Amino acid sequence: AQSVAQPEDQVNVAEGNPLTVKCTYSVSGNPYLFWYVQYPNRGLQFLLKYITGDNLVKGSYGFEAEFNKSQTSFHLKKPSALVSDSALYFCAVRETGSARQLTFGSGTQLTVLP
Amino acid sequence: GAGVSQSPSNKVTEKGKDVELRCDPISGHTALYWYRQSLGQGLEFLIYFQGNSAPDKSGLPSDRFSAERTGGSVSTLTIQRTQQEDSAVYLCASSLDGGASYGYTFGSGTRLTVV
């Protein structure tokens, strides 16, 4: 079975400061990992994904995430937060070669304070 | 079309009524997914269609829920005898194929309120 945990329901950060949104996963084999962002009254938008290769993945809007196999984590990061980054962020996992759909975490509400 | 289109965007229905939610995926995307988003619950997988294969219905919460996909394109999610706990945002997503490395493109969702 595949699962993903986002331990923080809410993350607050000051504008200009670095931000981290945490994600850990559980799969039997190797994972495909994704981050999505949801703005109010909108569908989810793709940010970035890890499939294979370099553990540091760069995505849209200056976001990046680091795949850490030993810690089974895929934390989302950005060096300098913007007020416009305030949104709901979802981590998702799919186990390679088996499951056919993504399993999503419960989401983390990011608020960037001006 | 350019994106995944869902209709209606909002639906208010009385308890016990049936509702139909529609999803029009991106042209050429063979994989289509339905998820349900409840407040504070994240996204709950409902059903998955891939080409002409039998759908994966393992996420449907009860036999009141059903879905079909006609002609490998438009999909309809039907909820019979709606209950208040069915109130949620229903999200549809499509993907180029069912391959694991492709991400999803989501629609804006249908907000269902059962009163």
Pairing of strands B88-95, B105-106: antiparallel
Nearest CB among A32, A42, A107 relative to B42 is that of A107
Q: Can you spell out the DSSP letters for A18-62?
A: -EEE--EEE-SS-EEEEEEEE-TTS-EEEEEEE-SS-SEEE-GGG
- Number of other CB atoms surrounding residue B101 within 10 Å: 14
- Nearest Cα neighbor of A18 from A88, A95, A85, A79 is A79
CA Rg value for chain A: 14
SS3 of residue A103 by DSSP: strand
> Using an 8 Å Cβ cutoff, are B81 and B65 in contact?
no
Residues B46-91: pLDDT tens digits?
999 988 888 999 999 999 999 999 887 999 999 999 999 999 999 9
Find which of A100, A103, A106, A109 to mutate to test the B interface (most B CBs within 10 Å of its CB): A100
CB contact under 8 A, A104 and B35: yes
Nearest CB among A34, A101, A105 relative to B42 is that of A105
Find which of A9, A35, A44, A103 to mutate to test the B interface (most B CBs within 10 Å of its CB): A44
- Tens of pLDDT along chain A (114 residues) come to 889 999 999 999 999 999 999 999 999 888 999 999 999 877 899 999 998 889 999 998 999 999 999 999 999 999 999 999 999 999 999 887 766 788 999 999 999 999
CB contact under 8 A, A43 and B4: yes
